[in-house]
Amino acid sequence: MWTDEQRRKLIQAAQEARRWAYAPYSKYPVGAALLSASGKIYDGVNVENAAYPTGICAERVAVFKAVSEGEREFIAIAVVTDNGGSPCGSCRQVISEFGLETIVVLADAQGQVVLETSISELLPGAFRPEHLPH
């Protein structure tokens, strides 16, 4: 179940996390917050690096934090940027791994929703665990 209250809380968590983004190169801080089926919120920020390609997006940090604490089912992820920017392809693939129904909420720095959709809408035809033998 996905409620207005959950949406509000998730966006707020992503907004608050965003202050910890380490984005000295792009100057594009991103905050993400992931709601697990167990009701917990895991946040994440983008962490850039002087060796540019080794940086990582906020969404993947949030997913990896949650999974490394035993979570595998997710209701929704909120992503807060300056302008409601959308998750990159790699993050879409990582979110898809754990279910195609996960809701994706994109909000701007003021917390205004720019888009609410699902991960399957954002990444049709994702490569799935079922595609691998056994």
Structure tokens at 124: 């049709």
String of b and e for 121-131 (b: at least 16 CB within 10 Å)? ebbeebeeeee
Catalytic residue among 59, 97, 116, 130: 59
- Distance between CA 81 and CA 93 in Å, rounded? 20
Catalytic status, residue 121: no
Q: How far is the CB of 9 from ligand THU (least distance, A)?
A: 20
Q: Tell me whether residue 35 or residue 62 sits nearer to ligand THU (CB atom).
A: 62
Choose among 64, 114, 46: nearest CA to 84. Answer: 114
N- to C-terminal Cα distance for the chain? Answer: 32
Q: How far is the CB of 130 from ligand THU (least distance, A)?
A: 26
Q: Tell me whether residue 75 or residue 107 sits nearer to ligand THU (CB atom).
A: 107
Q: How far is the CB of 87 from ligand THU (least distance, A)?
A: 4
Q: Tell me whether residue 38 or residue 82 sits nearer to ligand THU (CB atom).
A: 82
Please report, as ranges, the residues that interact with ligand THU according to CB under 6 A: 23, 26, 28, 30, 46, 48, 55, 57-59, 79, 85, 87-88, 91
CB of 6 closer than 8 Å to CB of 13: no
Question: Which are the catalytic amino acids?
Answer: 59
